[in-house]
A and B are shown apart, each in its own frame.
Chain A
Amino acid sequence: MSTLAAQSTKTQTGTREIALSVQQLTTSFRSDDGLVTAISNASFDLYKGEALGLVGESGCGKSVTSKSIMRLLPEHNTRYGSDSKVMLGNDDLMKFSNRQMRQIRGDRIAMIFQEPMTALNPVFTVGWQLDEALRFHTKLNRAGRRKRVVELLDMVEIPNPDKRYNEYPHQLSGGMRQRVVIAMALACEPEILIADEPTTALDVTIQAQILRLMNELRERTGTAILLITHDLGVVAQTCDRVVVMYAGQVVEQAPVRDLFHSPSHPYTRALLESIPRSGTKEKGKRLATINGIVPSLLDMPKACRFAERCSGCQARCEADMPELLNISSDRSVRCHFPVHKEKSE
């Protein structure tokens, strides 16, 4: 077993200290068609040193969740629920002023975005952009900052960091740019790293390099990672626990092994079954699909949001909204009829 897997077992059994707790997070946007609620009552905890996967398809609210945590959404048309809380230690980020948030962003919580080209400013050198974070958050002098930037570039395995310091983003390849973005996120040794689809724009061989890098950095610095992705393969390979979102709600929460071996929510099950599996004899057979499409945010059903597409839908599913309930100490699911059956091996 690799060091990665060994480490994840350790975090599962060891003391679990909460790094970030998202409670009853509701985010709505004002639009021409009225108030659109993108996430409703999302709650989950991120423990220190763990990698938590936040999974779902486009439009399920996973990116809005991360941007709500960072309070990066435009203020003029975003409304958060009155009982929404994002607890970092004893502080509720929802109550912070913009000025206080600026102290947190990049220092205690850092973020990596999907598109490494747009996350970097094309008119400043890589070194300048890395330096900016240190200038703002630390008391280091110019020489000290320069030394630290070169160290950071070296840490993310960029060859010739001294030379790269003076280069512009367009002179770097996609993988190199994502390394710079990671270096920037780690500049102030944050407690929490939010990675929003960090490898989606990259090729598989480069993706493998970046995932390995993130894992190594997590081991070394103890940073908790919230990994937002649509790729279940990436989750299986890197995360300790998984939160599955559907249509703006958390529908299932489980340790990674349990989720893949005995998914409890019918949506999670269907999602796992719709991926072609490698090395099996199922080649050429029809894939399992989920019928229909995600309900519109403007016209969300009052009852279970997955009912319309669910193969096990019953009368109750179309009448009441299921609550997110614990089914064991570390698992919860939002379904009236969760699947308990263990997968037969």
Chain B
Amino acid sequence: MSFVEVNNLVKHFPIRGGILNQVTAHVQAVSDVSLRIEKGETLGVIGESGCGKSTLGKTMIRLLEPTSGSVYFEGVETTGLSHGSLMPIRQRMQFIFQDPYSSLNPRMTAAQMLAEVIRFHNVVPRRETDKYIDELLETVQLRKDSKNRYPHEFSGGQRQRLNIARALAVKPDFIIADEPVSALDVSVQAQILNLLMDLREQFGLTMMFISHDLKVVEHFCDRMVIMYLGTIVERLSCDDIYNQVKHPYTKALLKSNPINDPDDREELYILEGEVPSPSNPPAGCPFVTRCEIAEPRCKTDRPPLVQLGEEQQVACWAVTHPAQKVKS
């Protein structure tokens, strides 16, 4: 059994309208996602805005209740657990949010924020709390005098360090980081990524790293899954992605990323059109409206995620079941 296992996870949000406030439709944020994360590995989750990557993360640790499907954490199914029995497991899974500004309470000092978490989960005996807070701040390379400062007194990078310290305070095994560096400048982004790499080694953390930035994920993660419109379209190992990639959406994503080399100024690959609305996704393949190699069957049948080789999974009819081999 894998460390974290997600089976057929679905999360729909109701859209209400009309005078009776009836449910008129559903936003299908996550539809039928299955994935596995092995102990000690870092899985990157890539996708554009609205593809459901953040919802997936939040549903996995039950900040949102799943519509259906199951999540196993070290063999224990968390999806059916009551809040009380979930608590010890919660302590082992932590979440780092994207926006270092809004995820900190502006009226609490750094020490108060950390102390709250530590006391709630009884991480260390009460009288050792202060010492433990000092240790935590040191771990994330914040100065000791930052203890009594409020969030507005920190820079963006320092705030993200504080967020990381708060996540580490309960000694978790598994961290979901949702776009932890997207709001930061490149030089600060590099500092935070280095810190996360250090901590990952030091504490043997298993991570899920949600991002829209392919370069960052390729550098930071072991494997990645690419999401489009609530489903996983491809799963890859992060080594040598350029030669492995098979799904037309992933290919487009790779080619539309501007490269830092003015000599390699190829025409940016243009993916025409836009992502369909998740409240009314296409019946077949979610990518069919923008795909260059779409076939008639793509419009009607959803392609399954098929294992190719050891590391890779692809959900595309043209890749997994080329047309000539299909029997009616």
Which residues of A approach B to under 8 Å, CB–CB?
Answer: 1-5, 57-58, 173, 175-176, 203-209, 211-212, 230-234, 236-238, 256-257, 260-261, 270-272, 274-279, 282-284, 286-290, 293
Contacts and interface: CB of A to CB of B under 8 A. Distances in A.
Interface stretch (B54-62, B214-222, B297-305, B308-316): B214-222
Given A4-B267, A282-B219, A289-B191, 8 more contacts: A57-B188, A208-B256, A233-B258, A233-B259, A274-B187, A275-B186, A284-B197, A287-B190
B7 interface: no
A204 B218 contact: no
B259 A293 contact: no
A212 B256 CA distance: 11
Contact of B258 (A203, A236, A261, A272): A236
Contact of A212 (B194, B219, B260, B268): B268
Contacts of A274: 186-187, 189-190
B161 interface: no
Contacts of A204: 48, 212, 214, 253, 256-257
A199 B302 CA distance: 32
Interface residues on B, range: 35 or more
B155 interface: yes
A289 B270 contact: no
From A211, A236, A287, name the one whose CB has the most chain B CB atoms within 10 angstroms.
Answer: A287
Contacts of A282: 219
Contact of A278 (B48, B194, B215, B271): B215
B242 interface: yes
B219 A276 contact: yes
Contact of A236 (B265, B269, B275): B265
B49 interface: yes
A120 to B, nearest CB: 18
Contacts of B198: 286
The 4 A-B residue pairs whose C-beta atoms are closest, nearest first, are A233-B258, A276-B219, A208-B256, A274-B190
A133 to B, nearest CB: 26
A203 B260 contact: no
A232 B260 contact: yes
B193 interface: yes
From B155, B157, B187, B215, name the one whose CB has the most chain A CB atoms within 10 angstroms.
Answer: B187
Contacts of B186: 57, 230, 232, 271, 274-275
A175 B50 CA distance: 14
A212 B48 CA distance: 19
Contacts of B214: 204, 278
Interface of B: 48-49, 155, 157, 185-191, 193-194, 197-198, 212, 214-216, 218-220, 238-242, 252-253, 256-263, 265-272, 274-275
B259 A276 contact: no
A293 B258 contact: no
A238 B262 CA distance: 8
23 contacts: A4-B265, A58-B185, A175-B274, A204-B48, A205-B253, A208-B258, A211-B258, A230-B185, A231-B258, A233-B259, A236-B259, A236-B261, A236-B265, A237-B262, A256-B262, A257-B262, A278-B214, A278-B215, A278-B259, A279-B241, A283-B239, A284-B197, A284-B219
A270 B187 contact: yes
B204 to A, nearest CB: 15
A70 B157 CA distance: 32
A318 B32 CA distance: 59
A118 to B, nearest CB: 17
Nearest to A233: B258
B33 to A, nearest CB: 20
A212 B262 contact: no
Contacts of A233: 257-260
Given A205-B253, A286-B194, A212 B267 contact: yes
Given A204-B48, A289-B191, A275 B268 contact: no
A297 B187 CA distance: 19
